[in-house]
Structures are given as structure tokens and as C-alpha cells.
């Protein structure tokens, strides 16, 4: 009786502290974050940098109507994401959101005419559209 009670208490303790386990041991969560940057504007954008938890991911020039997929190892449970790029002669920088378990560590960043940035969080299908959950 006391052995089974001890096991139950141990399981409850572990369950209540799931987020405190090191990321390497969290097999029930994604180990990588996926970010797609898509240029839907009327011209090429240059000097594209995606910032993930203050670490720059250099993309360079992104041609008109093209996309670039990034796969980034996840080091924290929550990742802040931002983008900076040059649209014509204007420099644009924007915080795009956070990646966490709620959105499956996936984000799609879209740039439109005049450097307007929109974001879709969550998984997407092979055609680049957001998947319905």
C-alpha cells in the first residue's frame, strides 16, 4: 500500500513539474521551431534577418514571390521572434510574436506591399497555407 502511494505521489510530482524538465528531456514537445518567411510584395526585399530569442538568423535577399524556411533548435519553452529587412530604401523592423507549445513552435511571416508584415501562427500545409486545427 505504501509503495503504491509513493509511486502515485512521485508521478503527480513529475506531472506538476513537466515544464521544469530540461528541453533535451522533453520528448513530448517539439525540439525545433519552424519559421517560414514569405515575400508577397511587389519587389525584392534585402538584408532580411529573423531574430529568434535575440539570436539573428541571416537570410539575405528574398526575391519577389519566394519563401525561405528556417528550422531553429529550441532552447527555451517560449521564443520571441522578430524580423528586420530593407524594403526599397526603408529599413523595417518588427516584433512578430512568440513561439510556444500552443502554436506548435511554427510561424509564417508574410511581407506585403509597402513592407507591411503579417503573421500566421501554427502549422501550415505544403502549399504555404495555414492548416485548420
Give the number of other CB atoms < 10 A from CB of residue 120: 19
The span from the CA of 35 to the CA of 128, in Å, is 11
| Residue labelled with grid coordinates 502515485 | 8
Task: Please write the tens of the pLDDT for every residue from 64-88.
Answer: 999 999 999 887 778 899 999 999 9
Q: What is the pLDDT of residue 86?
A: 95
Of 55 and 76, the structure prediction assigns the larger pLDDT to 55
Task: Please write the tens of the pLDDT for every residue from 99-130.
Answer: 988 888 899 999 999 899 999 998 776 555 55
Which of 3.40.710.10, 2.60.40.2890, 3.40.50.10330, 3.30.70.2190 is the CATH number of 30-121? 2.60.40.2890
Give residue limits of the domains in the chain. Answer: 30-121
Instruction: Tell me the mean pLDDT in the region 38-64.
Output: 94
Is residue 54 a contact partner of residue 76, using CB atoms and an 8 Å limit?
no
- C-alpha torsion 114→63→100→128, nearest 10: 100
Is residue 42 a contact partner of residue 20, using CB atoms and an 8 Å limit?
no
Query: Which pTM was predicted?
Result: 0.75
Amino acid at each position: 500500500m505504501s509503495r503504491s502511494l509513493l509511486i502515485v505521489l512521485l508521478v503527480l510530482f513529475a506531472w506538476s513539474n513537466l515544464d521544469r524538465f530540461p528541453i533535451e528531456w522533453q520528448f513530448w514537445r517539439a525540439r525545433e521551431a519552424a519559421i517560414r518567411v514569405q515575400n508577397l510584395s511587389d519587389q525584392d526585399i534585402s538584408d532580411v534577418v529573423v531574430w529568434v530569442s535575440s539570436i539573428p538568423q541571416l537570410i539575405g535577399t528574398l526575391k519577389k514571390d519566394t519563401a525561405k524556411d528556417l528550422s531553429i533548435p529550441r532552447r527555451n519553452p517560449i521564443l520571441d521572434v522578430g524580423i528586420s529587412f530593407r524594403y526599397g530604401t526603408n529599413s523595417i523592423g518588427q516584433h512578430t510574436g512568440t513561439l510556444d507549445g500552443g502554436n506548435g513552435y511554427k510561424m509564417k511571416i508574410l511581407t506585403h506591399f509597402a513592407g507591411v508584415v503579417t503573421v500566421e501562427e501554427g502549422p501550415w500545409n505544403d502549399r504555404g497555407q495555414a492548416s485548420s486545427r
